[in-house]
Amino acid sequence: MKFGVVIFPGSNCDHDTYHVISKVIGQPVDFIWHKETDVDRFDAIILPGGFSYGDYLRSGAIARFSPVMKSVVEFANDGGFVLGICNGFQILCESGLLPGALLRNRDLKFICEHVNVRVEQTNTIFTAAYQPGQVLSLPIAHGEGNYFCDEATLAELETEGRVMFRYSAADGQITDEANPNGSLRNIAGICNRQRNVLGLMPHPERAAESMLGCKDGRAMFLSMADALVQLLKARA
């Protein structure tokens, strides 16, 4: 089993993610430079948060043309596990692996704070270790986290159960006050139809150890590792 963490010029959560995978959940992991095209050695790929080059045009708009992204798209279409966090979520939307777009925050300000996020679905390899309706405390740090899509896409996401996370109050209530960036229907994370690609704005890698004050994000990486173990056993 091996995880890969993509590095784009400007990434700033790549080492955080690497640390969580290698030291916290104890799994093999390598960095993938954005100009690499060979990802065959990986079983799961993570696009970390940060600021990829070209974000001044639109977040992820240029990074999606990096050589590695063609390989990541092929990897995902072949069933590989892909997780995009914050800027990674933006890149997944720009590359067409996830629908919709991330717009400027409602108040046009960068937001860096802990928020509550309710788990909507647990039938993916990313969320299987959580409970439906569980409320997580996770940090956000973004200026363009306002998720938007057209009505037809929203209807598909809702009816197909592809909204994975919503911003919520501490008691799990979905309110406008709990929505930090104005996201449509409080959406904080979605998956693709095949449920092997997940994008979310909150940072689970920044909430994976007790010393950070919260470890609600650790289960996401453990869930991925457990799913890979089962997959590799099935292939053996």
Residue 3 structure tokens: 């995880």
13 given a catalytic annotation: no
**What pLDDT score was predicted for residue 40?**
95
Residue 57 scores a pLDDT above 90: no
**What pLDDT score was predicted for residue 109?**
95
CB–CB of 220/129 below 8 Å?
yes
Calculate the alpha carbon distances from 95 to 41, 72, 88, 100, 132 in Å: 22, 10, 10, 11, 29
**What pLDDT score was predicted for residue 235?**
79
Among 13, 34, 86, 191, the active-site one is: 86
**pLDDT, tens digit, 9 for 90 and up, residues 146-192:** 999 999 999 999 999 999 999 999 999 999 999 999 999 999 999 99
pTM of the predicted model, to two decimals? 0.96
19 given a catalytic annotation: no
**What pLDDT score was predicted for residue 38?**
96
Residues 6+ apart with CB under 8 A from 133: 118, 119, 172
Residue 56 scores a pLDDT above 80: no
191 given a catalytic annotation: no
User: Nearest to residue 126, comparing CAs of 39, 219, 188?
Assistant: 219
**Tally of structural domains, the chain:** 1
Residue 125 structure tokens: 């390899």
CATH number of the domain where residue 57 is located: 3.40.50.880
Mean pLDDT of 50-72: 88
Mean pLDDT of 119-123: 97
* CA distance linking residue 99 with residue 52, whole number of Å: 20
CB–CB of 146/102 below 8 Å?
yes
Range of the domain at 221: 3-235
**pLDDT, tens digit, 9 for 90 and up, residues 4-19:** 999 999 889 999 999 9
Among 13, 94, 191, 203, the active-site one is: 203
